[in-house]
Amino acid sequence: METFLVIVNIALILGFIFFLIRMQQKHISFSKRVFAGLGLGVLLGVYLQVVFGTDSNVTAHTSEWYNIAGRGYVRLLMMIVIPLIMVSIIQSIINLEKTSQLGKISLWIIGVLVGTTAIAALVGIGSSFLFDLNASEIEAGQAEENRGLYLEETLTDVEDMSTPQKILEFIPANPFLDMTGDRATSTIAVVIFSAIIGIAVLGVRRKQPEHAEMFVKITNSLYAVVMRIVTLVLRLTPIGILGLMATTVAKTDIAGILELGKFVLASYVALGVMFVIHLVLISLFGLNPFTYLRKVLPVLTFAFTSRSSAGTIPLNISAQKNSLGVDEGVANMSASFGATIGQNGCAGIYPAMLAVMIAPSVGIDPLSPGFLIQLVLIVAISSFGVAGVGGGATFAALIVLSSMNLPVALAGLLITIEPLIDMGRTALNVNGAMTSGTLTSRVMKTLNVDRFNDKKAVEKDIAV
Domains and CATH numbers, the chain: 2-462 (1.10.3860.10)
Q: CB neighbours of 169 closer than 8 A, spacing ≥ 6?
A: 161, 183, 184, 185, 387, 388
Q: What is the pLDDT of residue 290?
A: 94
The vertex-160 CA angle with 156 and 166, nearest 5°, equals 125
Q: Which of 364, 346, 356, 329 is nearest to 421 (CA)?
A: 346
Stretch 444-451: mean pLDDT: 92
More confident residue, 277 or 235: 277
Q: What is the pLDDT of residue 381?
A: 80
Q: What is the pLDDT of residue 390?
A: 42
Q: What is the pLDDT of residue 137?
A: 56
More confident residue, 161 or 229: 229
Band (pLDDT 50/70/90 cuts) for residue 98 is low
Average pLDDT of the chain? 84
Length of the chain in terms of residues written? 464
157 pLDDT higher than 80? no
Q: What is the pLDDT of residue 391?
A: 46
3-state secondary structure of 19: helix
Band (pLDDT 50/70/90 cuts) for residue 275 is very high
Band (pLDDT 50/70/90 cuts) for residue 141 is very low
Q: What is the pLDDT of residue 248?
A: 85
d(CA 223, CA 229) in angstroms, rounded, equals 10
Stretch 17-40: mean pLDDT: 90
CA dihedral 197, 202, 206, 212 (to 10 degrees): 60
pLDDT per position as a tens digit, 178-228: 888 777 677 778 888 988 998 898 889 888 988 888 998 998 899 889 888
Residue 40: count other Cβ atoms within 10 Å of its Cβ: 23
Stretch 99-121: mean pLDDT: 88
d(CA 115, CA 101) in angstroms, rounded, equals 21
d(CA 317, CA 378) in angstroms, rounded, equals 30
pLDDT per position as a tens digit, 380-392: 887 765 554 444 6
Q: What is the pLDDT of residue 264?
A: 86
| pTM tops 0.75, yes or no | yes
pLDDT per position as a tens digit, 405-429: 887 766 666 666 777 888 899 999 9
d(CA 396, CA 286) in angstroms, rounded, equals 33
Q: What residue type is 340 in one-letter code?
A: T
Q: What is the pLDDT of residue 149?
A: 55
Stretch 264-281: mean pLDDT: 95
464 pLDDT higher than 80? no
Q: CB neighbours of 369 closer than 8 A, spacing ≥ 6?
A: none
**DSSP class per residue in 301-356:** HHHHHH--TTTTHHHHHHHIIIII---HHHHHHHHHHHTTS--IIIIIIHHHHHHH
